[in-house]
Amino acid sequence: MIDFLNKNIDGISKEKLNNVCKININNNFDDILLINWENLSLDCNLEIIIKENVKIKLLEMGTVKGKCIYRVKENATLIHNFIFLASGGDAFKEIFLDKDASWEGINADLSTENVHFILHCYLKDENSKGYFKLSTLSKNQCKKVFDINFIHETKKTISSMENYGVVQNEASLSFLGVGHIKKGTKSSQARQSAKIMIFDKLCKASASPILKIDENDTIASHAAALGKINDEHLFYLMSRGISESEAKKIITLGYLNPILPHIFDEDLRKSVEKYILERL
Amino acid sequence: MKKLEIKNLHVSVEGKEILKGVNLTINEHETVALLGPNGHGKSTLLSVIMGHPKYQVTEGEIFIDGEDVLKLTVDERSKKGIFLAMQYPSEVPGVINSDFLRASINAHRETPIKLFEFYRELDKVSKSMDIPMDMATRYLNEGFSGGEKKRNEILQMLLLKPDFIMLDEIDSGLDVDALNVVSNAIEEMQNNNSSLLVVSHYARLYSLIKPTRAVVMINGKIVVDGSAALIDRIDKEGYEWIHKELNISIKKDENKMNNVSIGTCAVKNAIKK
Ligand SMILES: Nc1ncnc2c1ncn2[C@@H]1O[C@H](COP(=O)(O)OP(=O)(O)O)[C@@H](O)[C@H]1O
Ligand SMILES: [Mg+2]
C-alpha cells in the first residue's frame, strides 16, 4: 500500500490553492493508495483528481472532518474502499464523474461510534457509472446516518446502490439519500435497495431512499426492507440442526458479509470479517 | 428410528383448523406415500412434524421412539434424525451455501468436520447429484431454479443421512434425468435403513422409489391407509371412489396451486356432484 498524502510519489503531483489541496493522480498504480484518517486531520478541503484513462484503488480508513472531492476524468476508474473499524465521525464526500468514468464505492462500517456520512456522486457526462455498497452495524447507543446521493446530469448514466444494515440494542440507523435523474438524461438507470435487520425493541431504523425522476426514458428501481429476522429463514436453518442462536448469527452475517468480496486488500478483508464476527 | 407415531393430531393456522385428527404410524424401513388432493393438509402435517412455528397444535401427540416430539425445538428434532425436504425451500440472502451445509453437518457432530473432509464429502455428494461445485459458493437457494432448489434439498439429505425423511413434492420441477438422480439418492437412504414419508402428485416418482405403503389425506385426516396399490388406483381413478365408497365429501382447495396432479379431474368431478 502507498501512503501518498504526505509523501512525494512518482506519478502523483500536489498543489495548494487558497483553501484547497489538490492531488493529481497521473498514472495507474497496481498498489493500493491509502489514506489513513485515524491519525490525520485536514486543514484544507481535499481534492483528488484521477487523470484521464487512469485506474486506481483508493483505500480510506476512518473519517475526516472537511470536504473531500474526487474528480474522475474521462475513462478513468476509481475503486474506492471506505473502511471504518474503530472510530466513526462525520464525512462529506463529492464525486464527479466525466465521460466513460466509473466509480465504485464500498463502505464497511463496524465502528462503535456515531457516523454521519454524506456523499454526493454527480454523473456529469455520458456513460459514467456510479456504484455504492454499504454494510453497517449500529449497536449500543450509536446513531448512524448514511446519506448517499446520485445525481444524473446527462443521458446514458448508470447508478446503483445497495445498503445493508443491522441495528441492535438502543442504536439507530437511517439510510437517506436521493437518486435524482434530471430532465433530458435519456436512457439512464438508477437502482437503489436498502435493507435493515432490526434486532431489539428499542432500536430505531429508517430507510427512505428517494428516487426523483424528471425524465421518462429511464430505468429505475427502488426497494426498501426493514424488519426482524425472517421466521422462514430461521426455521429452514434450524430444521438442519443449527441452534436458534447460531442460525440468527448466520442469517445476520448474510446481511453484512456480502461486502467482503469487494474489499480489495486481502488482509483488510480478513480483519473486516473478524470485526463483523466479533461485534455482532 | 424404530417408530414415528402421530395420534389424533389437530393443527390450526391463524385460527383455521387444517388438520382434524390425524392418526398415522410409520415404522422402521417403511417408505410411506402420502397422497391427497391439493390443499388438504399434507404440507401442514410435514411442517408440524418438523416444528414450524406458524402452526398451533391444539390437540394430539407425536412420538419418535416414544419421545414427545412436540416438546422438542426444531433443531432438536433435526438432531433426533428428522428431516424435511421442503416444498418451497427458503432463499436466504448472503448466506453462502457451503457455509450453511457445513454448519448443518457440524450441528450433528461432537467435533467440527475438518475442512478437507467436508469438501471431499461435498464433492462426492455433489457429483452423485449432478450438482456443479459452484452451487456451493452461491448464496443459499438465492436465484436457484426450481430444480436446483430441489436438488439442494436432496444434497442436504445425503450429507445428514437422517433416520426419518419427509419429502414434500420433491419431484415437481425436475426433468427426467434429475428425477432419476433424486430417486437414486432416495434409494440410497432406503438402503441406509431410513424411513420415509413422501408427498408427490406423480406416479412416476413412486414407481422409482417403490413405497411399502400408501395413505390418503382428505380434509385434514388420513382416511385410507393401505398398500402401495393405492397409488396406481388413484393415478388411474383419482379420488372419486373415496367419495363413493367411504362417503367422504372432498373439500375444494380455495387457493389451488398445482393443476397437474394425481386425481385432479376426479376431485373436480366429485365436487360437481
Ligand atoms: N398461513 C395460512 N393461513 C391460512 N391458511 C393456510 C395457511 N397456510 C396454509 N393454509 C391452508 O391450509 C390448507 C392446507 O394446506 P397444505 O398443507 O399446504 O396442503 P397440501 O400440502 O395438501 O396441498 C390449505 O387450505 C391452505 O390454504
Ligand atoms: Mg403441499
User: What is the per-residue DSSP string for A220-238?
Assistant: EEEEEEEES--HHHHHHHH
Q: Which three cell numbers stand for residue A162?
A: 445497495
- Asked if residue B273 has pLDDT above 50, the reply is no
For residue B1, what pLDDT is reported? 83
Higher pLDDT, A57 or A216: A57
* Nearest-neighbour CA in chain B from A237: distance (Å): 8
- Asked if residue B264 has pLDDT above 80, the reply is no
- Asked if residue B225 has pLDDT above 80, the reply is yes
The CA–CA distances, whole Å, from A144 to A166, A170, A226, B119, B138 equal: 11, 12, 16, 40, 31
Q: Looking at chain B, which residue has its C-alpha nearest residue A238?
A: B75
For residue B271, what pLDDT is reported? 35
Considering only residues 202 to 231 of chain A, which have any Cβ-Cβ distance to chain B shorter than 8 Å? 230-231
| A241 contacts chain B (CB < 8 A) | yes
* Nearest-neighbour CA in chain B from A65: distance (Å): 33
In this structure, chain B runs to a length of: 273
pLDDT tens string B34-78: 999 999 999 999 999 999 999 999 999 999 999 999 999 999 999
* Nearest-neighbour CA in chain A from B51: distance (Å): 8
Q: Looking at chain A, which residue has its C-alpha nearest residue B89?
A: A236
Q: What is the DSSP string of B100-163?
A: HHHHHHHHTSSSPPPHHHHHHHHHHHHHHTT--GGGGGSBTTTT--HHHHHHHHHHHHHHH--S
Phi, psi of B104, rounded to the nearest 5 degrees? -65, -45
- Asked if residue A185 has pLDDT above 80, the reply is yes
Mean pLDDT of B148-161: 97
Mean pLDDT of A3-30: 93
* Nearest-neighbour CA in chain B from A70: distance (Å): 31
CB contact under 8 A, A255 and B84: no
Rounded Cα distance, B200 and B211, in Å: 12
Confidence of residue B254 (pLDDT cuts 50, 70, 90): low
Mean pLDDT of B204-230: 96
Q: Looking at chain B, which residue has its C-alpha nearest residue A254?
A: B94
- Asked if residue B270 has pLDDT above 80, the reply is no
- Lowest-confidence segment of A46-60, A82-96, A216-230 by average pLDDT: A216-230
Q: Residue A242: its chain B contacts at CB < 8 A? A: 75, 103-104, 107
CB contact under 8 A, B95 and A241: no
Q: Which three cell numbers stand for residue A5?
A: 498524502
CB contact under 8 A, B92 and A237: yes
Confidence of residue A210 (pLDDT cuts 50, 70, 90): confident
For residue B268, what pLDDT is reported? 35
For residue B246, what pLDDT is reported? 86
- Nearest CA to A127 out of A167, A91, A154 is that of A154
Higher pLDDT, B244 or A113: A113
Residue B40 Cβ inside 6 Å of ligand 1? The answer reads yes
For residue B253, what pLDDT is reported? 63
Considering only residues 140 to 169 of chain A, which have any Cβ-Cβ distance to chain B shorter than 8 Å? 164
The 10 Å CB-count burial string (b at 16+, else e) for A153-186 is: bbbbbbbbbbbbbbbbebbbbbbbbbbbbbeebe
Neighbours of B71 (CB within 10 A): 8
For residue B255, what pLDDT is reported? 56
pLDDT tens string A197-209: 999 999 999 998 7
For residue B262, what pLDDT is reported? 52
Q: How high is the mean pLDDT of chain B? A: 91
- Segments in chain A forming alpha helices (H): 231-238, 244-256, 266-279
Q: Which three cell numbers stand for residue A246?
A: 447460531
pTM value is 0.88
For residue A107, what pLDDT is reported? 98
| A235 contacts chain B (CB < 8 A) | yes
CB contact under 8 A, A247 and B75: yes
Residues A16 and A5: beta-carbon distance below 8 Å: no
| Nearest-CA residue for atom 8 of ligand 1 | B13
Rounded Cα distance, A195 and A166, in Å: 9
Cα of B122 vs its chain's centroid, Å: 22
Mean pLDDT of A145-171: 96
For residue A209, what pLDDT is reported? 78
The domains of chain B, with CATH numbers, are: 4-89+161-246 (3.40.50.300)
Q: At B90, is the secondary structure helix, strand, or coil?
A: coil
Rounded Cα distance, B174 and B162, in Å: 23
Mean pLDDT of B113-141: 95
How many Cβ pairs closer than 8 A exist between chain A and B?
A: 81
- Asked if residue B21 has pLDDT above 90, the reply is yes
Cα of B174 vs its chain's centroid, Å: 15
For ligand 2, an ion, list residues with CB under 5 A.
B 43, 87
The minimum-distance atom of ligand 1 relative to the CA of B41 is 17
| Nearest-CA residue for atom 24 of ligand 1 | B39
Residue percentage of chain B with pLDDT more than 90: 85
The complex's ipTM works out to 0.92
Contact residues of B toward A, CB < 8 A: 50-54, 73-75, 77-79, 83-84, 86, 89-90, 92-96, 99-100, 103-104, 107-108, 139-140, 156, 160
